[in-house]
């Protein structure tokens, strides 16, 4: 079944809706996600929460049956397409929260890695098991995972294909928080901790961190200086500082 996009005030909810296949990612579903991320890029929302339907999986990864008997060109195009779709998620103008309940394997883990934040329930299980199939991750796992948890830990996960459960995911920085509520409710509550702040300034904060990851610290400091200067130019900055002086809660602009 197709992914489902719903809206709860200014927070979007994307549900991977193929529970009979553990929400596996066929190329057709990747195409639908591609269109959804395009829609969200201009939608009047402040955050995106991503969950998987059913009790067993966030997303069990790629649909393996579709990956066999393909030409070299088809294999490369498939990897590039998956990477491009997840990059759209990573580059959304608003932050995203993947709430992992059950399996997040292969492409499913790579989808979660492309989100801004990852929450886990006690039943969450992460893994990049491609090595067991004679493959390596192809939708961004070899690039995003070491940036998140470090080279040595990432190589261990990728080269062993082992499963990381919720508590370890939290300890090594793969997850931001362990939650007990129903996945969407937990994601919604987490998102609302930030959505009351200035939308353009939230975007500038994310950009400052993300752009600096690929450059030396001295270059990253220049990026931070440029973007913090832009933040000062927003109406929301004027409102936030004046509200502090006035000892009141700021009222930031609409989406």
pLDDT of residue 147: 92
Indicate the DSSP class of residue 69: S
Q: What angle do CA 62, 150, 114 make, to 5 degrees?
A: 35
Among residues 55, 67, 70, 48, which one has the least CA distance to residue 22?
55
Given the residues 74, 80, 130, 151, the one annotated as active site: 130
Starting at the earlier edge strand, list the strands of the sheet with 11-16: 4-8, 11-16, 47-52, 95-100, 117-120, 177-178
Active site residue 110: yes
Rounded CA-CA distance 228/185 in Å is 33
223 pLDDT above the threshold of 90: no
pLDDT of residue 66: 86
**Residues 129, 106 contacting (CB under 8 angstroms):** yes
Q: How would residue 213 be classed by pLDDT, with cut points 50, 70 and 90? A: confident
Rounded CA-CA distance 195/173 in Å is 23
Which comes out higher in pLDDT, residue 255 or 217? Answer: 217
109 pLDDT above the threshold of 60: yes
Among residues 191, 170, 95, 89, which one has the least CA distance to residue 126?
170
Which comes out higher in pLDDT, residue 227 or 97? Answer: 97
Taking the alpha carbons at both ends of the chain, their separation in whole angstroms is: 31
> Reduced to 3 states, what is the DSSP secondary structure of residue 139?
coil
Show the tokens assigned to 204: 């500038």
Segment 79-99, tens digit of pLDDT: 999 999 999 999 999 999 999
pLDDT of residue 72: 85
Rounded to two decimals, what is the model's pTM? Answer: 0.89
70 pLDDT above the threshold of 70: yes
Given the residues 66, 110, 151, 219, the one annotated as active site: 110
Rounded CA-CA distance 80/13 in Å is 26
User: In the chain, helix, strand, coil percent, each to 5?
Assistant: 50, 15, 30
Residue 95: strand pairing partners: 47
Query: Residue 18, exposed/middle/buried by CB under 10 A (0-12, 13-18, 19+)?
Result: buried
pLDDT of residue 254: 64
Q: What angle do CA 188, 23, 174 make, to 5 degrees?
A: 55
The continuous run of DSSP H or E covering 47 comes out as strand 47-52
Residue that is written with structure tokens 């399996």 in the block: 103
pLDDT of residue 100: 98
255 pLDDT above the threshold of 70: no
Segment 133-177, tens digit of pLDDT: 888 999 999 999 999 999 999 999 999 999 999 999 999 999 999
Q: Which has the minimum average pLDDT: 2-6, 57-61, 188-192, 221-225?
A: 221-225
- List, in order of start, the domains of the chain with CATH numbers: 4-192 (3.90.226.10), 199-246 (1.10.12)
217 pLDDT above the threshold of 80: no
Q: What angle do CA 124, 129, 135 make, to 5 degrees?
A: 155
- Which residues neighbour 238 within 8 Å (Cβ) at sequence distance 6 or greater? none
Segment 99-108, tens digit of pLDDT: 999 999 999 9
Show the tokens assigned to 108: 């499913």
Q: Which has the minimum average pLDDT: 49-53, 139-143, 211-215, 244-248?
A: 211-215
226 pLDDT above the threshold of 90: no
Active site residue 168: no
């Amino acid at each position: 079944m197709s992914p489902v996009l719903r809206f709860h005030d200014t927070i979007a909810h994307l549900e991977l809706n193929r529970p009979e296949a553990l929400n596996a990612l066929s190329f057709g579903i990747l195409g639908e996600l591609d269109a959804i991320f395009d829609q969200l890029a201009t939608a009047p929302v402040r955050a995106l929460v991503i969950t998987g339907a059913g009790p067993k999986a966030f997303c069990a990864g790629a649909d393996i049956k579709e990956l066999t008997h393909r030409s070299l060109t088809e294999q490369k195009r498939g990897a590039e397409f998956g990477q491009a779709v997840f990059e759209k998620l990573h580059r959304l103008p608003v932050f995203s929260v993947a709430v992992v309940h059950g399996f997040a394997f292969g492409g499913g883990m790579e989808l979660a890695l492309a989100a801004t934040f990852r929450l886990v329930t006690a039943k969450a299980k992460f893994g990049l098991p491609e090595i067991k199939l004679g493959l390596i991750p192809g939708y961004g796992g070899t690039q995003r995972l070491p940036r998140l948890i470090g080279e040595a830990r990432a190589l261990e996960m990728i080269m062993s294909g082992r499963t990381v459960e919720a508590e370890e995911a939290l300890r090594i920085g793969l997850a931001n928080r362990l939650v007990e509520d129903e996945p969407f409710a937990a994601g919604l509550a987490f998102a609302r901790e930030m959505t009351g702040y200035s939308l353009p300034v939230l975007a500038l904060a994310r950009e400052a961190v993300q752009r600096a990851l690929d450059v030396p610290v001295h270059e990253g400091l220049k990026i931070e200086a440029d973007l913090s200067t832009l933040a000062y130019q927003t109406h929301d900055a004027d409102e936030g500082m004046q509200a502090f002086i006035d000892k009141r809660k700021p009222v930031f602009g609409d989406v």
